[in-house]
Structure formats: structure tokens, C-alpha cells
Amino acid sequence: MRKLYFLLFFALGCKLWAQEKDYPTIAYDRWMIDFGVTHQFALNDLSLDPVTDNLFSYGSATYIELFSGTYFFNQQWGLNLDFQLGAINDGVLEREERFQNSISDTFGDQYYITKVSLTEFGRSNESSVIGGTSLGLVYRYEKARFTLLSSFDIGFRAFKVTEEAFLLKEIGTNRILNLSYTADGASGFLTTFSPRAKLMYQVKNDFYLKLDVNYSLLVSDFIVLEEFKDTVTDELTIRRIDYGKALHTIGFGIGFAFFL
């Protein structure tokens, strides 16, 4: 009889275990999308040279987080894909004007300066674009109406260096120099490492309001080349400004989210 009870308990136990495997008792939302605005503050800057610093925008910037999608593969853990588009506070036109002024201040006493299109030197002239994307691992913690998401993201942020060229005609002589500023190396983007936390409050059903805070480590790795070419002797003088640096930003944002 004892053996029979043991067999019955064993069979029941197996059935319950099997049911638990097939039909999870805890339901959770697998997909989440969220939108928001984050204001980022640069904790250090990328200033190295009074002339070439004006070839790019880096500093305090407002980033509009266009879209973020998260997939949870269990109740706690998920993967997050984030797209960002940024609006730099520092205007491109003002930056260009500062650059022109710095060229005039540096060379204006000795040369007549004429700006020429870089396409005439066989290079393309690209405009600045600020945007980025990142992929991260998310951990979810829920308490009543509050949900806390913490994540660690790795990604990149678009970062363009404007390329410029000038013709320097020496005052009082026939001498003409070509002066150009070009970017060398990985100037297309900055690699980002970003731990972040989102605190979300459930307003109604699957609709949440969110506050987020993030820190980003950005690794810049590019070189700006200042090249003087004497058009008579073809003598080339190159100055390299190495912008390899670790940059730190902190950001605070608000937005809303949906669980699907």
C-alpha cells in the first residue's frame, strides 16, 4: 500500500512539474516600446586646438530619443535597442563663423584667404549629423505600479568632422598655398558605453510614464590633419591634432512607454 501511495505521489508530482513547464503560471509582457527626450550634459570637453576645435560640435546637447524597443525573454531580462537623434545647442553657422575668424586671425596678416570647396581637391564635404544607436541588456524589477529598468548599452553615436580648404595668396608676392583641414581615422562615429536606469509609473493598463538617467562613456578616435601645400614647390607641411580621448556625459530624460 505504501508503495502504491509513493507511486501516486510520484506520478502527480511529475504531472504538476510537466504542467509548470508547459504553462507558466506567471504572465509577463514581452515587448516594450518607449519614447522620450533626454538632456545630456558633457562632463568634459574635446577642446585641443583653437582652430580645429571648430570643425565639429561637441558639448552640451539635447538628444531626442526617437524610439527604443525592448524584448524580454523572461520576466527579468531583456534586450534593448535604442535609436537617438540629437540637436546640438552649438549652432553650425556660429561654429563655421568662429572657424573662419580663427583662420583670418591666424593667417590674415600674411595672406589673402579664399575659401574653396573641398570637392575641388577631390574630397567630399560632409555636413554634421548627430544621431546614434545602441544595444543593451536590460533587467526589470517591478513593485506595485512602479517598474525599474536598468540596462547596460553598447553602441555608437554619429560624429562628423567638417572638412574645409582654403587658398592662401601671400600678400605682395606670387606665392600661393593650399590649406586644408581633413579628418583621418574613425571620424564617422564615437563608440558609446552607457549604463542607464528607467523608473516607470503605470498610469493605465500598459501605458507608463518614465524618468530616466544615464551615463555615457564615449570614445573618440580621430585625427584632424592641417595640410599646407606650396603650389610651386609641392612642399607639404602637415600638422596632426590627435582627438583620441575618453568623454563622459550624463543625461536626464522623461517620456512614456507601452508594454505590448
**Rg (the chain; Cα; Å):** 28
User: Which of 25, 124, 127, 174 is the binder for other proteins (CB under 8 A)?
Assistant: 174
Phi first, then psi, for residue 11 (nearest 5°) are -65, -45
Using the structure block, give the residue that is written with the C-alpha cell 583653437. Answer: 50
Do 108 and 114 meet the contact criterion of CB atoms below 8 Å apart? no
* Between 67 and 121, CB nearer to other proteins: 121
Q: Which three cell numbers stand for residue 221?
A: 578616435
- The answer to whether 236 contacts other proteins (rule: CB under 8 A) is no
Q: How far is the CB of 231 from other proteins (least distance, A)?
A: 5
Task: Count residues binding other proteins (CB under 8 A).
Answer: 15
* Between 44 and 104, CB nearer to other proteins: 104
- The answer to whether 167 contacts other proteins (rule: CB under 8 A) is yes
* Between 47 and 231, CB nearer to other proteins: 231
- Candidate ranges 27-35, 142-150, 174-182, 246-254; the one touching other proteins (CB under 8 A): 174-182
User: Which of 102, 106, 178, 202 is the binder for other proteins (CB under 8 A)?
Assistant: 178
Q: How far is the CB of 166 from other proteins (least distance, A)?
A: 10
CA distance 123 to 103: 20
Residues with Cβ < 8 Å from 189, sequence gap 6 or more? 132, 156, 157, 158, 159
Do 215 and 247 meet the contact criterion of CB atoms below 8 Å apart? no
Helix intervals (H) in 2-91: 2-22
Q: What's 231's DSSP letter?
A: T
- The answer to whether 235 contacts other proteins (rule: CB under 8 A) is no
- The answer to whether 114 contacts other proteins (rule: CB under 8 A) is yes
- The answer to whether 186 contacts other proteins (rule: CB under 8 A) is no
CA distance 191 to 246: 10
* Between 45 and 120, CB nearer to other proteins: 120
The site for other proteins (CB under 8 A) is made up of 112, 114, 116, 120, 167, 169, 171-176, 178, 231-232
